[in-house]
Structure 1
Amino acid sequence: MRYKLAVFDLDGTLLDTLKDLWASVNVILKAHNHPERSLEEIRQFVGNGSVKLIERAVPAGTSKEEEKIIHDEYKEYYDKHCNDLTKAYDGILDVLKVLKNNGVKLAILSNKPNFTVEKLNDIYFEGLFEIARGSLPEVAVKPAPDSLLRILDELKIAKEDTVYIGDSDVDVNTAKNAGVDEIAVTWGFRDKDFLEANGATSFANKCEELLDLI
């Protein structure tokens, strides 16, 4: 294997979480008498964390006070329903096991709330990842490099021995900002043309292709 550490985004990379995100947003929007959003709209809204997701989902002109209330209610609801419709992408578990068995350290880095990342990690990936990390109040979210660099520091792995794998422009820019290699996956929430237009240079179209790239 080329790398000592592979850090994965969660939504759209390891897990197909879109339907649960969509359903949860719409439950809260409906409760506040706001129009519901389509699945495709939510696909475009995700990637920058739950605060940005709600900011994009609420109607224009919504007050910041109401936006915060909706966000807090969304987080509480989604945490209880984050695994209703979610599933791991076909083949990803086998790929992770091969990487781990070949001595590659594995980590998750997501802009989701940290407690939700830990919960989903326990459900799907128990024992596979050295670190499963979501957003923390004291650390800037992706694409700022802070959270990724913190993982490298904790695991004592150099930048040149690390690759970051994700499905969005946020992930591509996170890797670039941190000075590590990136692999963009095309089975997630953004297509290859979009990723290429946003600077991605290395692509995996199927989970098993990661084994040749890592």
Structure 2
Amino acid sequence: MTPKVIIFDFDGTIADTVDALVTIANRLAVEFGYVQITSEELALLKNFTSREIIKYSGISLFKIPFLLKKVKGELKHKIHELKPIEGIDAALIELHNQGYRLGIITSNSQDNVTAFLENNQLEQLFDFIYSGVTIFGKTTIINNVLRQKQIKTEAVVYVGDETRDIEASRKANIKVIAVTWGFNSPEALAKQNPDFLIHKPSELLDVMAVLS
């Protein structure tokens, strides 16, 4: 079956939020009991999986849901400053014009995502937005979305910038396109063997042409 639905991660894949998230995370470090991230450490963390990052930081697993809630709340005040990844808006518009259904699955809040899309005139491109807090992946959320939307696994492709996006897609039995312009390094993503590894948004059109 030719894929007709493309599900995107939000932070680092569509929205250029990495710097803002690191700034917020560093500001909350003392409150939540983990070490601040230097620019040198950030380069190191880009090669880590989500589990490795949590272990490295020393944060308690019990505190993570509360940290994520606080981060999303603080990011809300920066949404008006944030911009799309360079070139992603043109790629999204073209995919939409070609008839693909576009959706977003994110651990960010629905309010933040909606505000960002509206600020950047992209809201009309997406058929659905699902928000859910998960520490180690999005498999459950992906499966719930596919069931609710009655989408067959072979009809969907997931696009994300982290190793956990690849892992979740594999567990959900759907194809995954890993993008190198977000959080994880190209090397870390390649180790997870995504179906496709791309380096600029325009390549999304090339991949979808291959899959069609």
> Taking structure 1 as the reference length, what is the TM-score of the superposition?
0.78
Instruction: Report whether the alignment pairs 1:113 with 2:88.
Output: no
- Which aligned pairs between 1:20-169 and structure 2 lie closer than 5 A? 20-29=20-29, 36-39=36-39, 41=41, 44=45, 60=58, 73-84=70-81, 86-124=82-120, 125-135=122-132, 143-169=137-163
Q: Deviations over 1:15-65 (max 9, x none)?
A: 1101110121223336789763224545738986xxx98x6796x487967
Structure 2 Cα separation of the partners of residues 87 and 69 of structure 1: 26
Q: Structure 2-normalised TM-score?
A: 0.78
Q: 1:41 to 1:113 in 2, by over 3 A?
A: farther
Residue of structure 2 equivalent to 1:19 = 19
Q: Cα offset for 1:152?
A: 2.0
Once residues 47 and 123 of structure 1 are traced to their aligned partners in structure 2, the CA distance between those partners, rounded to angstroms, is 31
Question: For residue 80 of structure 1, what is the amino acid of its counterpart?
Answer: H
- Of the structure 1 ranges 91-100 and 119-128, higher mean CA displacement relative to structure 2 is found in 119-128
Q: CA deviation at 1:83?
A: 4.2
SS at match of 2:130: strand
CA contact (8 A) 1:142 1:171 kept: no
CA distance in 2, matches of 1:12, 1:115: 17
Partner SS for 1:179: coil
Larger mean CA deviation between 117-126 and 70-79 belongs to 70-79
> In the superposition, relative to structure 1, how do residues 87 and 42 fare at CA in structure 2: closer, same or farther (>3 Å)?
farther
CA distance in 2, matches of 1:31, 1:144: 27
Q: Residue 189 of structure 1 aligns with which residue?
A: 183
Tell me the distance in 2 between the aligned counterparts of 1:119 and 1:146.
25
Question: Contact 1:168/1:190 (CA < 8 Å) preserved in 2?
Answer: yes
The percent of aligned pairs where both chains have the same amino acid is 24
Q: Distance in 1 between matches of 2:135 and 2:162?
A: 14
* Matching residue of 1:171: 165
Shift of 1:178: 0.7
SS in 1 for 2:37: coil
Relative to structure 1, is the Cα distance of residues 56 and 78 closer, same or farther in structure 2, using a 3 angstrom cutoff?
farther
Q: Distance in 1 between the 2:183 and 2:34 partners? A: 24
Task: For residue 127 of structure 1, give the secondary structure of its aligned residue in structure 2.
Answer: helix
Count how many residue pairs are aligned between Structure 1 and Structure 2.
204
Take 1:15 and 1:156, find their aligned partners in 2: how far apart are those partners?
27
- Selected match of 1:204 from 188, 195, 198: 198
Question: Measured at CA, do residues 178 and 62 of structure 1 come closer, stay the same or move farther in structure 2, by a change above 3 Å?
Answer: closer
Task: List alignment gaps of at least 5 residues for structure 1.
Answer: none
Q: Is the 8 A contact 1:42 1:57 kept in 2?
A: no
For structure 1, which segment, 13-22 or 109-118, has the greater mean C-alpha deviation from structure 2 after superposition?
109-118
Counterpart code for 1:207 = P
